[in-house]
Amino acid sequence: MLSVETRQRAASWLDERLGLTAIGEFLRHKAVPVHSATIWYYFGGITLFLFVIQVLTGILLLLYYRPTPTEAFESVQFIMTRVEFGWLVRSIHSWAANLMILTAFIHMFSVVFLHAYRRPRELTWLSGIVLLGLALAFGFSGYLLPWNTVAYFATKVGTDIAASLPGIGPPLARFLRGGDEVGGATLTRFFGFHVAVLPGLTTLVLLVHLALVQKHGISVPPKVEQESRRRGVPIPQMPFFPNFFLRELMAWYGALGVLGSLAAIFPWELGVKADPFAPAPAGIRPEWYFLAEFYTLKLLPSHVWIFEGELLALIGFTLLAVFWALLPFWATNRQGEIRTRLVTGAGVALLAYLSTFSALGYWR
C-alpha cells in the first residue's frame, strides 16, 4: 500500500505534467441545467457510447472478416458459427449500429424541439448533421460487407440513385462502385470506407462537436429561460461531475442492457449469399432508416412532367437535407428572435413524414 505522502507526490508529479488541477477545477464548475426536459440531454452521450461499442466490436470482427466476394459471406458465417461468441459480437455490432442511428435521430429531434440549435450553437448543429450523415454512411457501407442478397441489391439501388445525379452522378457512382457494376471492387472500397475513412472522419468531426458543446455549455430551452426570467429565479443546475456524469453512466448502462438483450434474444441474421445473376427477392427492403426514402421512390411514377421520378426524388431529398441542415439560419428572424412555432412545425412534419413513410415502406 502506498503511503499518503507517496500518493501526494505522484499526484503532484502528474499534475505538473498534465494540469490535472485545472481539469478538476473545470469539471467542478461545469453545470447542467435541471428542468422538465433534462432527460433529453442524455441521448447525445448514449449515441457516443454506442459509437464506442461499434468501434470495439468492429475491431473484433476485423480479426476474422475477409472483404472479397468469394470469402466475405463465408467469413461472416464462420464468425457466427465457429468463432466463440462470434454470433454475439456480430449481433452486438449490428444492433448497436441501428440503436446508434435511432439515438442520433432522437438527439437531433430533441435539439430541434428544445431549440438548442440557436445562436451561438449553429456550428454545433451543423457538425451534428455531418455526424448523422457519417452514421448513415457507416450504415450503408457496413450493410454490404456480409455480401448477402439484400445488401447487394441495396447497394445497387443506393449507388444507382447517386448515378442519377446530373453531371457528377455517373463518375460518383463509378467511384463508389470501383467500376461500372456492384462487385468485388465495390466490396473492397466499402470495406475501406467503413473501417478507415469513415472512422477517421467521424473521430475528427466528433471532436469538433464535443469541443463546441464544451465551449457553449448545455442549452436551456427558451420556455424555461422565459419562465425563470418571469419568476426572477435562476434555473436550477446540477454539477456535471459527479452528478450528471454518474446519471449519464447509468443511462449507458441501461443502453448496454437493451443492446445486450436485443443482441442475445434476436441474433442478427446473415441471409443468403449474394448472387449477381439472381433476381431481387420478393419483400426486399432496406434498413429501417432508409425506409421512408425507399417508399417515396416506390410511390413516384416513372415521369413527373419532364423529370424522371428517381431524379425528382433525389432533388427532393437533397433539398430537404440542405433545408434541414440550414435550420439554425432560417429559424431566426431579422430581429434575432427564434421562430419556435415554425421550427416545431417543421420538426413535427419531418417526423411525421419519416415515421409514416417508414411504416408504409415496412408493411406495404
Partner 1 sequence: MADDRRSLIRWLLGGGFTASVLSFLYPAIRFMNPPRIPEAAVNEVSAGKADELKPNTAKIVRFGSRPVLLIRVGEEEWKAFGAVCTHLNCTVQYRPDGHDIWCACHNGIYDLNGRVIAGPPPRPLEEYAVRIRDGEIVIARRA
Separation between Cα atoms, residue 288 and residue 358, nearest integer Å: 7
Which of 185, 235, 251, 346 touches partner 1 by CB under 8 A? 185
Is residue 171 near partner 1 by the rule CB under 8 A?
yes
Helix (H, G, I), strand (E, B) or coil at 238: strand
| AA identity, residue 359 | A
Least Å distance, CB 290 to partner 1, is 12
Residue span 310-329 as binding mask against partner 1, x where in contact by CB under 8 A, dash where not: x-------------------
Do 259 and 99 meet the contact criterion of CB atoms below 8 Å apart? yes
Is residue 301 near partner 1 by the rule CB under 8 A?
yes
Q: How many CB atoms lie within 10 A of CB 152?
A: 27
Is residue 303 near partner 1 by the rule CB under 8 A?
yes
Is residue 305 near partner 1 by the rule CB under 8 A?
no
Q: Which residues pair with 148 in a beta bridge?
A: 273
Is residue 3 near partner 1 by the rule CB under 8 A?
no
Is residue 166 near partner 1 by the rule CB under 8 A?
no
Least Å distance, CB 349 to partner 1, is 24
Residue span 217-256 as binding mask against partner 1, x where in contact by CB under 8 A, dash where not: ----------------------------------------
Backbone dihedral region for residue 85 (phi beyond 0: left; psi -120 to 50: alpha; all else: beta): left
Least Å distance, CB 274 to partner 1, is 11
- Which residues are within 8 A (CB) of 348 and not within 5 positions of it... i.e. 6 or more apart? none
Least Å distance, CB 145 to partner 1, is 19
Do 85 and 64 meet the contact criterion of CB atoms below 8 Å apart? no
- Interacting positions 271-300 with partner 1 (CB under 8 A): 276-284, 294, 297-300
User: 157 or 262: whose CB is closer to partner 1?
Assistant: 157
158-168 CB burial, b ≥16 within 10 A, e <16: bbebbbbbeee
User: 71 or 160: whose CB is closer to partner 1?
Assistant: 160
Separation between Cα atoms, residue 353 and residue 364, nearest integer Å: 16
Separation between Cα atoms, residue 362 and residue 364, nearest integer Å: 6
Take residue 165 and report the three cell numbers written for it.
445525379
Is residue 178 near partner 1 by the rule CB under 8 A?
yes
Take residue 277 and report the three cell numbers written for it.
445473376
User: 73 or 244: whose CB is closer to partner 1?
Assistant: 73
| Total site size for partner 1, rule CB under 8 A | 34
Q: Which residues pair with 239 in a beta bridge?
A: 31
Which positions lie near partner 1, rule CB under 8 A?
153, 156-157, 159-161, 171, 174-175, 177-179, 181, 185, 276-284, 294, 297-303, 308-310
